[in-house]
Amino acid sequence: DAGVIQSPRHEVTEMGQEVTLRCKPISGHNSLFWYRQTMMRGLELLIYFNNNVPIDDSGMPEDRFSAKMPNASFSTLKIQPSEPRDSAVYFCASSLTSEARGEQFFGPGTRLTVL
């Protein structure tokens, strides 16, 4: 199995631009998680899906952030408009089990820099 795939691996954009991060979970996994990691705030859950349905989006910072999971093999995290404080590493993870009771497999992350 290829593991969790994320793209792009690096993204540099200017403030105000739209950013779309993509994730392909491990085949057969039914939960998908989006995290953001910074030195100041650590690893924070933004949103998680179970069977393609958003279950908990309480970590989504504000309306500028949106996430979708149109099918079991693809998810996107969009930031519009982007701001310098959005600069972080964004991880996608997937799990075989529902909620957060099982092992999560992380993708390599997308390093986002907003100038």
Smallest distance, Å, CB 107 to other proteins?
A: 6
Smallest distance, Å, CB 19 to other proteins?
A: 19
Smallest distance, Å, CB 102 to other proteins?
A: 8
- 23 beta partners: 6, 75
Distance CA(110)–CA(89), nearest Å, equals 5
In degrees rounded to 5, what are phi and psi of residue 59? Answer: -90, -5
In degrees rounded to 5, what are phi and psi of residue 2? Answer: -80, -10
Please state the length of the chain.
115
Choice between 62 and 101, CB closer to other proteins: 101
Distance CA(83)–CA(40), nearest Å, equals 17
Q: Are 67 and 34 in contact (CB under 8 A)?
A: yes
Choice between 71 and 103, CB closer to other proteins: 103
Choice between 42 and 70, CB closer to other proteins: 42
Task: Give me the residues that bind other proteins (CB under 8 A), please.
Answer: 35, 42-45, 48, 56, 91, 99-101, 103-109
Choice between 81 and 105, CB closer to other proteins: 105
Smallest distance, Å, CB 39 to other proteins?
A: 10
